[in-house]
A = this chain, B = another copy of it.
Amino acid sequence: MAVYIYEQLFQFTERVFKSIGCSDVDALKATEVLLSADLRGIDSHGVARLSGYIRLWQAKRINAVPNMRIIHETPSTAVIDGDAGLGLVVAPFAMQVAIDKAKAVGTGWVSVQNSNHFGIAGYHAMMALKEEMIGIAMTNASALVAPTFSTEKMLGTNPIAVAIPAGEQPPFVADFATTTAANGKLEILQRKNEDTPVGWVQDQDGNTSTDANILKKKGALLPLGSDREHGSHKGYALGSIVDIFSAVLSGASYGPWAPPFPAYIPMPENMPGKGLGHFFGALRIDAFRPASDFKQHMDQWINRFRNATPAAGYEKVLIPGDPEREMELIRMQLGIPLVDAVVNDLQETGAIFNIHL
């Protein structure tokens, strides 16, 4: 374990993205998006993934100089072809289109085809906050999740993020995988050689498992709810909605055909669309009521929930976004800790381009 200051990781990552041919603007944006995950404590989606993006570029599955463009639109909607660009660049471009449409007609909704992994959904949703808008971001991903009653991996962890501005209070920012546990949590247990709790994963026959390595043995992650009795059909429905909004609306590849993140896995056969899909929404607050009224009531909402009676052993009730915001303050000041495996991985990636961490 070593700790790196944000600026150091930023410069390193930016140079790597420039080395694969990204423009200065794109390299800066991709770095900002990627590192927002490390700052917010979602370590699985930050620099730990840099080598994965580079391998996708080496495999010619990522285009460093994409011609991103709107291929269909109405006053409140657009579909964007990401031209196989880095999702880290395509997603902010698409979210900006949603924001611009919201400025014009109240809300904007953008579905994206032909993209790749876009980092954390929360970054993109939060772009709306400074515009006094609610932001929504979601994406499909390669299949790791079995629907209720199935043993077959059909859906990605398909996250949803919703960012809602407040007044004096910090914003409400929910950002979560539509599974009981995100894949990153399994990876942490794998490194520690520990079991998962019951309800996170199942084995190849659909039986309960606590093996953190079960995905490599034809097992699957479970939808939020874990099993039918505890509402897994709801998590399955949520993951499906994300898949359909992101990929069927846009013309991306959906369900078990979503392209894999690891470059060594062959692309699925008979893909029904292009690349990964995302979906973004922006809702202008004053398209519903004066922003000052809304913010005052959001402050009251947040205060009331934060002061709800805590259960024994807990100090207070959290508002979605609290833990990540606190982590960001700490890591901006004290640096970002990286496990040795990630440091080695970054150094090997840098070495390809003669860049030292």
A256: which of B111, B243, B304 is its contact (CB, 8 Å)? B304
Contact check, B305 vs A240: say whether CB atoms are below 8 A apart: yes
- A107 CB within 8 Å of chain B: yes
A294: which of B229, B233, B235, B249 is its contact (CB, 8 Å)? B249
Contact check, A79 vs B289: say whether CB atoms are below 8 A apart: yes
- A162 CB within 8 Å of chain B: yes
A199: which of B179, B230, B233, B254 is its contact (CB, 8 Å)? B230
Distance between Cα atoms of A288 and B277 in the complex (Å): 13
Distance between Cα atoms of A240 and B181 in the complex (Å): 20
- The answer to whether residues A72 and B224 also contact, given A149-B318, A244-B298, A248-B298 and a CB cut-off of 8 A, is no
- A197 CB within 8 Å of chain B: yes
A206: which of B244, B301, B311 is its contact (CB, 8 Å)? B311
- From residue A336, how far is it (CB to closest CB) to chain B in Å? 23
Contact check, B176 vs A231: say whether CB atoms are below 8 A apart: yes
Contact check, B297 vs A75: say whether CB atoms are below 8 A apart: no
Q: How many residues of A are in contact with the other chain, CB < 8 A?
A: 84
Contact check, B151 vs A309: say whether CB atoms are below 8 A apart: yes
- A13 CB within 8 Å of chain B: no
- A184 CB within 8 Å of chain B: no
- The answer to whether residues A74 and B106 also contact, given A235-B224, A237-B320 and a CB cut-off of 8 A, is yes
Tell me which residues across on chain B come within 8 A of A158, comparing CB atoms: none
Distance between Cα atoms of A162 and B249 in the complex (Å): 14
Tell me which residues across on chain B come within 8 A of A197, comparing CB atoms: 229-230
- From residue A163, how far is it (CB to closest CB) to chain B in Å? 10
Closest B residue to A110 by CB, please name it.
B288
- A109 CB within 8 Å of chain B: yes
Closest B residue to A176 by CB, please name it.
B234
- A138 CB within 8 Å of chain B: no
Distance between Cα atoms of A309 and B41 in the complex (Å): 36
Contact check, A107 vs B288: say whether CB atoms are below 8 A apart: no
Closest B residue to A161 by CB, please name it.
B237
13 A-B pairs with CB atoms under 8 Å apart are A75-B76, A76-B76, A76-B107, A77-B106, A148-B317, A149-B310, A174-B234, A177-B234, A179-B231, A180-B230, A249-B289, A255-B304, A255-B305
